[in-house]
Structure 1
Amino acid sequence: MKTLLKSVLLGSALSSAVFAVSAADVKNNTNEIQLTQKWDKTFKLSDKVNHSKVTFKTRFGTTIAADMYVPKSATGKLAAIAVSGPFGAVKEQASGLYAQTMAERGYLTIAFDPSFTGESSGTPRYMASPDINTEDFQAAVDFLSNLDNVDKERIGIIGICGWGGIALKTAAVDTRIKATVASTMYDMSRVIRNGYNDSEDSKQQRHEKLSAMNDQRTRDFAAGSYDRDGGLPDTLPEGAPQFVVDYYNYYKKTRGYHERSVNSNGGWAKVSALSFMNTHLLSTIDEIESPVMLVHGEKAHSRYFSETAFKSLKGDNKSLVIVPGASHTDLYDQTDIIPFNKIDDFFSKYLAK
């Protein structure tokens, strides 16, 4: 188990199986993407919303695929919310559920796949980047700001799990974002650099990680493909810690499995974590002037990320909501546990006309 835990990258436990990102893997190798039109979500379509597929460009040239949810009763210009996460998930999973639920409550929402994942474009596949992923959120704000039925002065974002940290990073740089919710948040730069609970927080341990990933770059170049690691194993290891069991029960079971999800399948490219090693996602969140709500489960293994971030936030428009008895993954899809009423109250207050 020590090896398994050491190999935890972008929000889920890595298996020992190795996959490769090859030409055959790359469906979206240009900006001409193909969108699935069938309803293939892990949740049911609500009869209170209209759903459609949309796309928009980032300043790095990738095309982002998103699901848009509009309340059927909508009139005039609406407040809007962009949603993404968890890291390694796709819009058909938790982010889509959050987006649809908030649309039921009167917001125009989009849930999007980050660059290099899901139905969005970008090659090589299964890569992550602090800068590019922040741009993904900003491009979502670009898109929403230019819709005729959106009030561009009333745009918020929701980031789930690893995308909670990205949401905070984006809120620190994008003044168009009027309110931010980070749910069951991970600081991906911290966990990749320092390990869980900062158990690998030493220069030597970071050097070893960097050496391993740079050696992997050499092998990948020679092979002409990118080895992958990070999807959960098909069989849960004996003695796995509870948080790994929780991830398994979401990503590998009918409850949350999706064929395009990184965490449900072969995982990220091994070298994808490199740029997080010398990036501190939350280094400037003390400069966020807009409202922020952090939501975390009382029993979540990741709770310390939100508690630390909350201490860095400044102003009287910041809040930390601890959900009694909830685990990390409970806040992915357990609608009787996710505090949607509090999230709605937060956005209603700060995205008001």
Structure 2
Amino acid sequence: MEPITFPNGPVTMAGNLYLPEGFDATTAHPAIVVVHPGGGVKEQAAGLYAGKLAEQGFVALVFDASFQGDSGGEPHHLEDPYARVEDVRAAVDHLQSLGYVDAERIGALGICAGGGYTVNAAMTDYRIKAVTTVSAVNIGTSFRRGWYGTDSDAAAVPTLQALAQQRTAEAAQGAEPTYLPYVPAEPDENTPRDLVEANDYYLTPRAQHPNAKNKFLFTKSVSRIFTFDAFHMVEDLLTQPLLVVAGSEAGSLWMSTELHGRARSPKQLQIVEGGTHMDFYDVPKYVDRAIAVAAPFFREHLTVQPADQV
């Protein structure tokens, strides 16, 4: 693994580049961009997947989102879906600048909200030749309709009204910016199981990281998130092969099945029995199941030999 930086317009992105064992810089390799969940950083689930993809013979690039982690951009702790999508494109730019990456064999894998961002980027960037999502989340739809997708889009209105009041307080009255948590800091009996497990992942030694602060700017993030739809026009604009991986017990499963149902490109849905949303972040049984389908999927569509032949 090599720490790197790369440009994304005025923002300097911080990433880690994972290289296959026995790496030969004189050979053009297939490469995968790995996109972290909302609230995550490159050292967590995305880095785990990048390392495992490198073991399978791929160059893998993981990075902190702009405005987050070690990457630049102000204000920090901004969750801007449109910037997150541009991050993916900038990562592809960087891979194509590397002499040892085959510019025609680049894929992308996204986890949770990173899955939605990856799909959205691929719809307008056909340099990405194949897409995999793991525990996919369409962040805008999830914020509007709730974790289980049972609310209407109009359920977002009270939050947007509160946002308007807070923005006035900050702009006209000098109030300090407020932040929201990505995952509940104190889950209760009404907290969805996946989000209880997310608390255990992000806020305990299980995967806690100092750059994952579990907060994002309320006024500057929510207005962007609530109007974002990662799957808008997926039927017509996503032409690349798609692999969707999710657990049968994930509260977010509806977003994966919606994506698979709507996509018209060559597609595959892998529902892993017993898996929850968070199981695919670091539980070996489920991470290995995801890699077991993702690696051959990328080999097929990026036309690369199996790892034991590389």
TM-score, with normalisation over the residues of structure 1? 0.80
1:332 to 273, 281, 293: 281
1:207 is displaced (CA, Å) by 2.5
Matched, 1:78 2:26: no
Measure the CA separation in 1 of the matches of 2:262 and 2:216. Answer: 30
Could you tell me which runs of 5 or more consecutive residues in structure 2 were left unpaired when the two chains were aligned: 305-310
| Per-residue deviation, residues 48-93 of structure 1 (Å, max 9, x unmatched) | xxx111111113x211100111113122111001111111000010
Counterpart of 2:100? 149
1:231·1:262 contact (CA, 8 Å) conserved in 2? Answer: no
Match of 2:225 in 1: 276
- CA shift, 1:132, in A, is 1.0
Q: Secondary structure at the match of 1:185?
A: coil
Size of the aligned set, in residue pairs, is 297
Alignment of 1:298 with 2:248, yes or no, is yes
Out of 162, 165, 171, the residue aligned to residue 116 of structure 2 is 165
Residues 262, 319 of structure 1: alpha-carbon distance in 2 compared, 3 angstrom cutoff: farther
Partner amino acid for 2:252? S
Which residue is 2:239 aligned to?
289
Q: Counterparts in 2 of 1:225-240, with a 5 A limit?
A: 225-232=176-183, 235-237=186-188, 240=191
In the alignment, what sits opposite 2:160? 210
Measured in 2, the distance between the counterparts of 1:327 and 1:197 equals 13
Letter in 1 for 2:135: T
Q: Are residue 64 (structure 1) and residue 13 (structure 2) matched?
A: yes
Name the SS of the counterpart of 1:180 in structure 2. Answer: strand
Residue aligning to 2:128: 177
Find the aligned partners of 1:167 and 1:103 in 2 and give their Cα distance. 19
Residue deviations 1:273-307 (CA, integer Å, cap 9, x gap)? 21122222211211211111010011001000000
**Cα distance, 1:336 vs. partner?**
2.1
Do the aligned partners of 2:148 and 2:251 also contact (CA within 8 Å) in 1? no
> Match of 1:349, as an amino acid?
E
Once the two structures are superposed, residues 9-33 of structure 1 have per-residue CA deviations (whole angstroms, 9 ceiling, x without a partner) of xxxxxxxxxxxxxxxxxxxxxxxxx
The alignment's C-alpha RMSD in Å is: 1.6
**5+ residue gaps in structure 1?**
1-50
Which residue, out of 71, 80, 84, partners 1:129?
80
CA distance in 1 between partners of 2:182 and 2:34 (Å):
22
Map residues 24-39 of structure 1 onto 2, 5 A cutoff.
none
Identity of aligned residues (%): 31
String of CA shifts for 1:224-258, please: whole Å, max 9, x gaps: 64211215455543564422221122111211111
Residue 319 of structure 1 corresponds to: 268
* Deviation at residue 329 of structure 1 after TM alignment: 0.4
> What residue number does 2:5 align with?
55
Among 96, 107, 115, the alignment partner of 2:66 is 115
TM-score for both structures, normalised by structure 2:
0.91
Q: Please identify runs of 4+ aligned residues in structure 1 that moved more than 4 A.
A: 231-236
Per-residue CA deviations over 1:115-142 (Å, capped at 9, x if unaligned) read 1100000111111222211100000000
For the Cα contact (< 8 Å) 2:110–2:134, is it kept in 1?
yes
Q: Please tell me whether the aligned partners of residues 117 and 262 of structure 1 are also in contact (alpha carbons under 8 angstroms).
A: no
Matched, 1:252 2:200: no
**Aligned counterpart, 1:11:** none
For residues 292-339 of structure 1, give each alpha carbon's deviation from its aligned partner in whole angstroms, at most 9, with x where no partner exists.
101001100100000011111003x21111011111000001122222
Measure the CA separation in 2 of the matches of 1:186 and 1:332: 13
Contact 1:100–1:109 (CA under 8 A) maintained in structure 2: yes
Say which structure is richer in helix.
Answer: 2
Distance 1:330 1:98 in 2: 13
Secondary structure at 1:109's aligned position in 2? Answer: strand
Partner of 1:44: none
What is the distance in 1 between the residues matched to 2:175 and 2:2? 37
